[in-house]
Amino acid sequence: MTVLAYGLITGVIFGFLLQKGRVLRYDVQLGALRLLDMTIVKFMLTTIVVAMIGVYLLKDLGYVKLSVKNTLLGANILGGLIFGLGWGLLGYCPGTSGGALGEGRWDAVWGMFGMLVGAGVYAETYPWISKTVLTWGDYGKITLPQLFGLNHWIVIAVIAAASIAVFFQLEKKNL
């Protein structure tokens, strides 16, 4: 029960912040895909940089364990391409469609129905997918520090610096 309560509380705060950041609406999501408005890129990159620093700090102190997913090149690339196609049509993503509904954009309901169907279709095709696509380019649970053979704080510093450089460019170009 405690686990479920934590999930709900975390979700409420996250949804609150997504709405405050104005990243939920179709116009902003399509704005990013059309390279007209980079609000969601600013939000996501800031979240990633902050969380990356904090989570690795806690990991070094022994308070958290990372949950690394397998790198499956075939599935990651193909899935990413397919996801992008659907995202461009829907204009909401799996995490934000509920949030969009919460602020009154009820066309998100159609997207949520579609996503339930998509999940069901994936389950139907999974036996075949797991024997084919999911075996292409399996590199296991690798991280960037492992890949480059560098201390994780060097990788974090480079990503943080690159993100800040991106933010300056976006602000300069008023995106």
Partner 1 sequence: MKITRDGGWSPYLAGALAGLLLIASAWVSGKFVGASTTYVRSAGMLESLFSPERVKSLDYFVKEAPVIDWQWMFVIGIIIGSFISAITSGSFRTQALPDMWRERFGPSRVKRGAAALAGGVVAMYGARLADG
Q: Which of residues 81-100 bind partner 1 (CB under 8 A)?
A: 81-100
Q: Site residues for partner 1, window 99-128 (CB under 8 A)?
A: 99-108, 110-124, 126-127
Query: Please, what is the minimum distance in Å from the beta carbon of residue 162 to partner 1?
Result: 16
Task: Report if residue 27 touches partner 1, rule: CB under 8 A.
Answer: yes
Residue number with CB closer to partner 1 (51 or 142): 51
Instruction: State the DSSP string of 47-58.
Output: HHHHHHHHHHHH
CB neighbourhood size of 77 (10 A): 13
Q: What is the DSSP letter of 22?
A: T
Q: Which residues contact 114 (CB under 8 A, 6 or more apart)?
A: 90
Query: Please, what is the minimum distance in Å from the beta carbon of residue 78 to partner 1?
Result: 6
Binding residue for partner 1, selected from 60, 80, 142, 154, defined by CB under 8 A: 80
State the Cα–Cα distance between residues 19 and 103, nearest whole angstrom: 7
Binding residue for partner 1, selected from 63, 140, 149, 172, defined by CB under 8 A: 63
Q: Which of 32, 38, 31, 125 is nearest to 78 (CA)?
A: 125
Query: Please, what is the minimum distance in Å from the beta carbon of residue 41 to partner 1?
Result: 9
Task: Report if residue 30 touches partner 1, rule: CB under 8 A.
Answer: yes
How many chain residues are in contact with partner 1, going by CB under 8 A? 108
Q: Which two tokens stand for residue 8?
A: 């709900």
Q: Which two tokens stand for residue 137?
A: 């380019």
Q: Site residues for partner 1, window 126-145 (CB under 8 A)?
A: 126-127, 129-130, 133
Residue 143 to residues 12, 63, 156, Cα–Cα distance (Å)? 30, 19, 12
Which part of the chain contacts partner 1 (CB under 8 A), choosing from 5-13, 137-145, 146-154?
5-13
